[in-house]
Amino acid sequence: DYKGQKLAEQIFQGIILVSAIIGFIYGYITEQFGWTVYIVMAGFALSCLLTLPPWPMYRRSPLKWLPVQELGTEEKKPADRKPKRHTKS
Helices 2-30 and 33-51 pack at an angle, to 10 degrees, of: 160
Whether residue 19 lies inside any domain: the answer is yes
8 A C-beta contact, residue 62 and residue 1: yes
Q: Which stretches within the chain are classed as H helix?
A: 2-30, 33-51
Residue 85, pLDDT > 70, answer yes
Instruction: Convert the pLDDT of each residue in 13-46 to its tens digit.
Output: 999 999 999 999 999 999 999 999 999 999 999 9
8 A C-beta contact, residue 40 and residue 20: yes
pTM of the model: 0.68
Whether residue 47 lies inside any domain: the answer is yes
State residue 10's pLDDT score: 96
Whether residue 66 lies inside any domain: the answer is no
Distance CA 45, CA 38 (A): 10
Whether residue 7 lies inside any domain: the answer is yes
**Which residues form the domain of 50?**
2-58
Q: Distances in Å between the alpha carbon of 20 and those of 9, 46, 61?
A: 16, 13, 32
